[in-house]
Amino acid sequence: MIVSASYRTDIPAYYAEWFLRRLKAGYSLVKNPYSGRYYRVSLDRRDVSAFVFWTRNLGPFIGVLEEIDSLGIPFIVQYSITCYPAALERRVVPLETCVQHVRYLAKRFGPRVVVWRYDTIILTSLTPVSFHFERFSKIAKMLQGCTDEVVVSWANMYKKTVRNIKKASETHPFTWFDPPDKEKMEILLELEGVARENGMKMSVCGQRQYVKGRISDSSCVDAKRISDVAGREIEAARKPHRLGCGCYESRDIGEYDTCPHGCVYCYAVNDHDIAMKNYLKHDPELDSLTPRSD
């Protein structure tokens, strides 16, 4: 079983102590996002074939990775690095810090362990097309040789996403726009060329309408990459999380509305104030990420 930790929240950045305690206990309780009921996910080394971690700040989690490595459990890290203005990402660590983390991963565990995510892409008056070309190129050059893949995606304009963007734009005045697919495709093709120049392939997450040319479909939970890291075959069936997803089967142990990063475009946060309140209620000694309500 591959365990995802987590595309619902940033466990490495904010819940490292909790994760380490759950790893030693051999299980965690996870809240079903639909029913609200809790179910048990084994974290026993005999049951876990690999971990996939998702983060914007690996710093608090480096010691945990060493512990996981000592147990002989392979892992990969999906590391989001966009470094937008604070109006769009309230509590994201500086670019240089993120790059140091990626370089550490590549040197300590090998470049196949880490995948750079330049997502979510959003066009605003603070982040116009020129901003993305400049920022993407800068990060790609800094990560050259540390990873062989960059995952991209455009902001999905869910009702909650639009609401959070509008709220942020009233506090920190900016305008935003969602361009047509043709323009998005042109931008991605330009960015793909930059990625290729820096030794990376580009894949797109959950948006197959942009799979074109050298841009491939992303498997964020990627059994093939994990197998390369492990040096042995990690068996898992394809099991998409949503339409257009190319992931392999996994169990996620995160919880929505618990990430304090404050990214206005985030699909995993319905309300940033609630996410912060949930984070403040967190107790690392509990077997669930937030106190159980059932």
Query: How far apart are alpha carbons 200 and 3 in whole angstroms?
Result: 26
Whether 291 is covered by a domain: the verdict is no
Whether 99 is covered by a domain: the verdict is yes
Residue pLDDT, tens place only, 212-257: 999 999 999 999 999 999 999 998 887 777 767 888 899 999 999 9
Helix axes 181-197, 129-142, angle to 10 degrees: 20
Task: Tally the domains of the chain.
Answer: 1
Residue pLDDT, tens place only, 70-100: 999 999 999 999 999 999 999 999 999 999 9
DSSP state of 212: -
Q: Residue 192: what pLDDT?
A: 98
Query: Residue 37, SS3?
Result: coil
The closest of 93, 74, 73 to 82, measured between CA atoms, is 93
Whether 186 is covered by a domain: the verdict is yes
Whether 261 is covered by a domain: the verdict is yes
Whether 134 is covered by a domain: the verdict is yes
Asked whether the predicted pLDDT for residue 133 surpasses 90, the reply is: yes
Query: How far apart are alpha carbons 193 and 255 in whole angstroms?
Result: 36
Q: Which domain holds residue 142?
A: 2-281
Whether 287 is covered by a domain: the verdict is no
Which stretch of DSSP H or E encloses residue 134? Answer: helix 129-142
DSSP state of 248: B
Residue with tokens 């047509």: 180
Whether 23 is covered by a domain: the verdict is yes
Whether 292 is covered by a domain: the verdict is no
